[in-house]
Amino acid sequence: MGSTGGGTRSAPDAAERVARRQGTGRRAGPADPYAQEAAAVRTGLVREIVAGGGLTDPAWRAAFEEVPRHLFVPYYFETEETEETGETGETGGAGETSAAGGAGTDGRAVGDGGAGTDGRAVGDGGAGGDGRADAPGGASATGEGGGARGTVGCTRLWRDDPHPLRRARWLAGAYADVPLATRVRDGELITSSSQPSLMARMLQALRVRDGDRVLEIGAGTGYNAALLAHRLGEAHVTTLDLDPEITEAARNHLAAAGFRPAVVTGDGARGCPLHAPYDRIIATCAVASVPPAWLGQCRPDALILTPLATGLITLRVADARHAEGRFLATPAYFVPLRGSGPPPERVPTCGLPSRPLLDDSFRFLLNLAAGHLEPVEALALWEHEGRPGRERYGVTVRGERQWAWLDEPEGAYGWPLGPPDRLQSFV
């Protein structure tokens, strides 16, 4: 079927979808008592994403229509936060991986792979009074989300709730276009299920082709891996996470939905050489620079899609030491890769007027050039260059050197990647 960019082909009919599903090697999972009701609300979610301009590729649309998200979120937490500092930021922790994290439609950092537009950190994402993600009922906890420190109130919704109205609320929420916080440990958000519309945008931007081998950095709930397996076949998909509890849960969720891709426990920064080489790598955690191991595990002309700063960079790989690409226009607020060092400090904004700080494009520049460009210099550049959006920025990797740039790799503006003082994103 070729690439996943938009196309003019009509949506596949039922026979085509059955044939494609059989081609993935998908196995029947256990009987699902919610299957019929879930299919109806899943159709509504797909229509919402399509109405917003997503899922233009029929193959990805079929995946979202047929992969049951509710099997990957047997419980999740609804959260509310009262911030104490008035600041906003990303949470530490991980997202669709213990090494990854993301945010929702308003940018609330709630765990894996999802992202949004203004980056409010939720902090804990939901826990029992002892911080256990499996604590029943509602609870509150105090979290430190990389600068946003506040009290998180949470309500646990789950598949087996004895009350039918709460079960209905759980199922409806499973197919809402929002991220769902699913796991907390010791007051730290560990994983969630990402915002579906953002997942759709990222998967289409990956531009997969039939037969491509894909490595996902961040297993999380397993839902994104299931979508990839539906599209490419489970033999072509490897998903990796740092936390063995998360990989075990993802493996079980995938099996319940009839998928068995490779689920590996390991350090996301090191990739997964066991199943290399890859044609595509997709990450659901923010990196300060591109891990060299990723390039070394890619075939020539492979594509890497990863969160960096508060955006999504797509890198075309030339060889094990060279890659280059531009940012997508989409804002994306992800938590950092876990295990990559101590939590970063906040990007300073002292002395800046308030109005530019409300502009997402300026906040992106602050994050991208953090540690290498003074905030007042960033403001002057941003205003002089006409307030550039994310799509005017890019990244180049040449051997040991990595840098971000505006407009051209060898142009007037460039900054080394990998903040020397581990500054944290200002969102």
User: Which residues are designated catalytic?
Assistant: 194
Q: What Rg do the C-alpha atoms of the chain give, in angstroms? A: 20
Nearest to 115 by CA among 199, 54, 172: 199
The CA–CA distances, whole Å, from 361 to 11, 38, 202, 311 equal 35, 38, 20, 10
State how far Cα 373 lies from the chain centre. 27
Q: Classify 174 as helix, strand or coil.
A: helix
Between CA 124 and CA 149 the distance in angstroms is 10
CB under 8 Å to 86, separation ≥6 — which residues?
none
Token output for 283:
């990450």
Burial of 82 (0-12, 13-18, 19+ CB in 10 A): exposed
Burial of 28 (0-12, 13-18, 19+ CB in 10 A): exposed
* C-alpha neighbours within 13 Å on the C-beta side of residue 317: 25
Nearest to 156 by CA among 168, 172, 170: 170
Provide the pairing of β-strand 75-83 with 109-111: unpaired
Provide the pairing of β-strand 148-158 with 138-145: antiparallel
Instruction: Determine how many CB atoms are found less than 10 A away from the CB of residue 275.
Output: 19
Nearest to 241 by CA among 261, 212, 227: 261
Token output for 39:
């299919």
Q: Classify 377 as helix, strand or coil.
A: helix
Find tokens 């196309």 and name the residue: 7
